[in-house]
């Protein structure tokens, strides 16, 4: 039987969008390869184990803390739209991570790009 943890990690590592996962203390516990590359000038993989709040200004840190508090209020509070980046034409969300019992165990930032894909469909050449 295939290990689900291997599958989940593989999904994250194959994603072209940056994925940074934090625990409830805002400590970065995982960055996929896209995130490591994206945040290289700020330390890349060396950011693991550091506080996400140290990577943001005071106002952003306050909003991150407010969203985490909102996630804690209800098991139905799982995703919130945080910003639009016009330079990259993408929407950004914070997403709650919960265990099987529905308890909040962390969060991550989700990037959804609006640009149409330029890759040819099924191009295996």
Q: How confident is the model at residue 124 (pLDDT cuts 50, 70, 90)?
A: confident
Q: Residue 80: helix, strand or coil by DSSP?
A: strand
Q: Residue 71: helix, strand or coil by DSSP?
A: helix
Among the residue ranges 3-7, 20-24, 99-103, 105-109, the one predicted with the least confidence is 3-7
Q: How confident is the model at residue 24 (pLDDT cuts 50, 70, 90)?
A: very high
What kind of fold does domain 4-113 have according to CATH? Beta-Lactamase (3.30.450)
Q: At residue 120, what are phi and psi to the nearest 5 degrees?
A: -70, 140
- Which residue carries 């934090």 as its tokens? 22
Beta strands at 79-85 and 104-113: parallel, antiparallel or unpaired: unpaired
All structural domains of the chain with their residue ranges: 4-113
Beta strands at 90-98 and 28-31: parallel, antiparallel or unpaired: unpaired
């Amino acid at each position: 039987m295939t290990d689900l943890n291997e599958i989940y990690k593989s999904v994250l590592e194959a994603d072209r969008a940056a994925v940074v996962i934090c625990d409830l203390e805002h400590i970065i516990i995982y960055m996929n390869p896209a995130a490591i590359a994206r945040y290289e000038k700020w330390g890349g993989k060396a950011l693991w184990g550091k506080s996400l709040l140290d990577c943001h200004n005071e106002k952003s840190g306050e909003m991150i803390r407010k969203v985490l508090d909102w996630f804690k209020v209800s098991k139905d509070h799982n995703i919130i739209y945080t910003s639009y980046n016009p330079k990259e034409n993408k929407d950004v969300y914070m997403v709650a991570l919960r265990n099987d019992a529905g308890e909040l165990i962390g969060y991550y930032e989700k990037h959804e790009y609006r640009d149409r894909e330029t890759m040819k469909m099924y191009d295996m050449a």
